[in-house]
Amino acid sequence: MRNLHISTLYAFASSLLVTGVAAQSPGAYLGELTWTDAEVRLRESPIVVVPFGGGAKEHGPHLPMNADQKVMEYLCQHAVDSVDVIVAPPILHGWFPAFRGYPGTEVADPDVFEQYVFEVAMSLVRQGAQRIVFLNTGIAMATGLPLSIAAREIRTQTGTPVLVVSWDDLETPEMDELRT
């Protein structure tokens, strides 16, 4: 049974990379459901996605500060259109130590960010979520660290499977070829 859970999480992560996946049973955004529909869907959907993307973070003078948020929104829409998931409201503030010198929004204390993410996900688990995926369009070695700690704590305290998928995890060999 454990392998079924892990394979379901990996199938979701893989679906983020594949375009044109036929809808098995369309997902939904939690905020667009009534509370009665949400109560049922949280218990029945195989995965609840907690998306994170910086709403205002430096990306150089050529990109808007909400570039991570735009990528996150695109990936969430693709997931909702492709697989039976519930997408929770996004977390738009995070821990960005490398970008402190630039205008933008940061939670300077990684423990505060970690605790916030933990509480958001735990509320979903208490409401029936059976599996959580933290979708991180930030960098794995920055925002991914507090997200991973929160994921580990949720798994330890509740037994709920939690997966962290960071932007760098979604990069393919084709992306490496583009860089060269």
| pLDDT at site 25 | 46
Instruction: Name the least confident of 67-71, 130-134, 135-139.
Output: 135-139
| pLDDT at site 51 | 98
Q: Which strands sit side by side in the sheet containing 47-52, from one edge to the other? A: 28-29, 85-87, 47-52, 132-136, 162-166
> Per-residue confidence at 21, pLDDT binned at 50, 70, 90?
very low
Q: Is residue 5 part of a domain?
A: no
Number of domains in the chain: 1
What CATH number is attached to the domain comprising 134?
3.40.50.10310
- List the domain range (segments joined by +) for residue 135: 39-159
Q: Is residue 27 part of a domain?
A: no
> Per-residue confidence at 79, pLDDT binned at 50, 70, 90?
very high
24 Cβ contact partners less than 8 Å away, ≥ 6 residues apart? 82, 83, 84
Q: Is residue 13 part of a domain?
A: no
Q: Which residue has the tokens 């454990």?
A: 2
Q: How far is CA 55 from CA 7, 67, 164, in A?
A: 31, 8, 19
Q: Is residue 3 part of a domain?
A: no
> Per-residue confidence at 171, pLDDT binned at 50, 70, 90?
confident
pTM for this entry:
0.82
